[in-house]
Amino acid sequence: MRKIGVSEIEDIALGAALLGAGGGGDPYVGKLVAIGAVKECGPVTLLDPEEIPDDALVVPIAMMGAPTILAEKAIGGTEYQTLYDTVSAFYGKPIFAFMPIEAGGVNSMLPIAAAARLGLPLVDCDGMGRAFPELQMVTFTIGGGSATPMALVDEKGNSSIFRTITNKWTEELARAVTMACGGSVSVSLYAMEGKFMKEYGVKGIVTRSQTLGSAIRRVKEAVDCSPEEQFLRITEGVRLFKGKICDVLREVRGGFNFGKVLLEGIAGDKGRQAYVEFQNENLTAVADGRILATTPDLICLVDTETFQPVPTDALKYGKRVLVVGLPCFPLWRTPEGLALVGPRYFGIDTDYIPLEERCKGGADHV
C-alpha cells in the first residue's frame, strides 16, 4: 500500500504512454484529468493485488473510442459516479477498488481520477500489460471472464448497461453506441472478484509504469553509456529502427485510429526504409521488406533526443524517432492469447514470431 500524488502521476503517465505502444490516448490529456482530481480530492491509495480480499468487487474504469477525439471532447466529471452507481446497483454490493484495464496515456490515468473523486483505492494490476484497440483483448477473456455487465456513459449524461453473449459482441455493440455518442465514452467493464483478478491480471503495471517514467526522465544522466543505450537498458527493449517520418497516413474509422507511418532511415539506418502500421496501437514494424516485430509484442516510437514516447496521434512529418520493441506479457504468447491479439487477427499475413527470435534473423519478408 502506498499513495499516488502529483509527482507519481507524472511518472506513471510517461511510463504508461510507452507501454501503450502508440495507443491509449494522449498522456498530457490523461495526466491533466488525474492531477486535477488528486489536487481537488487528495492522493489515491495504491494497493498490491494480494491486498485485495478474494470476494471483493474490483472494477476497471476506462475510456472507449478513438483517442484523438478525447482532446476535443473532454470528460464531464460526473461519469465516474454514474458508473459506480450503475455497477454497484447491479451487483448489490459496493465496489471495493478501481483498476486500469490497460496501460496507456489516458486509460492509465482515468482510474486514478475516478479513485480520487470517489475516495476508493486503486489496484496495481490491469488486463493487458500494454494497450490494445478492442475491449475483448484482455487477459480476463482468456480466463473466461465476461466483459458484461458493462456500464457506459458519455459527458452529456447518457448511460446504458450491456449484457452480451460474448466479449466480442460487447465490443461490437458498445463501439456502435460510442460512435453515436460522438466517438468517445467512459466505461466500466470486466467487474470481477479479487480472486479472479489475482489469477489472470497483469500485476504491478502501475508500479512498472512509474518506474519506467522516472527512468526515462533521467535517461541522459547515465555516465557509462549513451542515452540511447541507457533507454534500451532500462526498458529491456530491442532497437528496431531509427528514422525520420516522411509521411503519415491516418483515418478515424469505426471508432478507431487507423494508419501507417513511413520512415526514412537516419544514423546507422541511413539509406533504409521502414513503416509502422497501427490501429490505435502499433501493430507491425517492417524495414526493407522484412518484418521486425508484430503484435502482441510492443512496438514503441520514441523521440530520438528526449526518448519521450510518441503516440500515434502525435506522429508528424519530419519528426525523428527510434522504433523499439518490448516483449509482451507471457500470456499473450499462448494459443489463446494469439487468437485474441496475434497478427492474423488484425489481417497481417504472418504467424507470430517472438520479438527476440525475429531480432536473431528469423523474420519474414512481406
What pLDDT was estimated at residue 362?
44
The model's pLDDT over 243-295, given as tens digits with 9 standing for 90+, comes to 999 999 998 877 778 999 999 999 999 999 999 999 989 999 999 999 999 99
Residue appearing with cell numbers 484495464: 101
Of 8-17, 238-247, 357-366, least confident by mean pLDDT is: 357-366
Q: For residue 313, what pLDDT band results from cuts at 50, 70 and 90?
A: confident
Residues 109 and 57 in one domain: yes
Query: Is residue 43 domain-shared with residue 179, that is, in the same domain?
Result: yes
pLDDT, tens digit (0-9, with 9 covering 90-100), for 316-333: 999 999 999 999 999 999
Residue type, 286: V
Asked if residue 43 and residue 86 are part of one domain, the reply reads: yes
Radius of gyration of the chain (CA): 19
| Angle, CA of 229, 230 and 236, to the nearest 5° | 85
Number of structural domains in the chain: 2
DSSP string, 258-297: EEEEEEEE-GGGTT-EEEEEEESEEEEEEETTEEEEETTS
Residue 347 or 27, more confident: 347
Q: Which domain holds residue 189?
A: 2-206
Neighbours of 203 (CB within 10 A): 18
Which CATH number does the domain housing residue 261 bear? 2.40.390.10
One domain, residues 294 and 156: no
Question: Do 202 and 229 fall into the same domain?
Answer: no
For residues 236 and 202, state if they share a domain.
no
- pLDDT top residue among 63 and 196: 196
In Å, what is the CA distance from 96 to each residue of 41, 114, 188, 321? 18, 13, 14, 42
pLDDT digits (tens, 9 = 90+) for 216-239: 999 988 888 899 999 999 999 999
Q: Contact 300/289 with Cβ under 8 angstroms?
A: no
Helix axes of 27-41 and 110-118: crossing angle, nearest 10 degrees:
10
In a domain, 218, yes or no: no
Handedness of CA 91, 92, 93, 94 (dihedral sign): positive
Q: Is the pLDDT of residue 304 over 60?
A: yes
The dihedral of CA 329, 274, 270, 14: what is its sign? negative
The whole-number pLDDT of residue 363 equals 46
Quick one: 276 and 350 in the same domain?
yes
Mean pLDDT over all residues of the chain? 91
User: 216 lies in a domain?
Assistant: no
Q: Are 328 and 292 in contact (CB under 8 A)?
A: no
Q: Does the N-terminal peptide bond of residue 149 adopt cis geometry, omega within 30 degrees of 0?
A: yes
Q: Which of 179, 206, 233 is the last residue of a domain?
A: 206
The answer as to whether 250 is a domain residue is yes
Q: How confident is the model at residue 361 (pLDDT cuts 50, 70, 90)?
A: low
* Residue 85 and residue 177 in one domain: yes
262 C-beta neighbours (distance < 10 Å), count: 16
Per-residue pLDDT tens digits for 49-99: 999 999 999 999 998 876 666 666 666 668 889 899 989 998 999 999 999
Cell of 262: 513511413
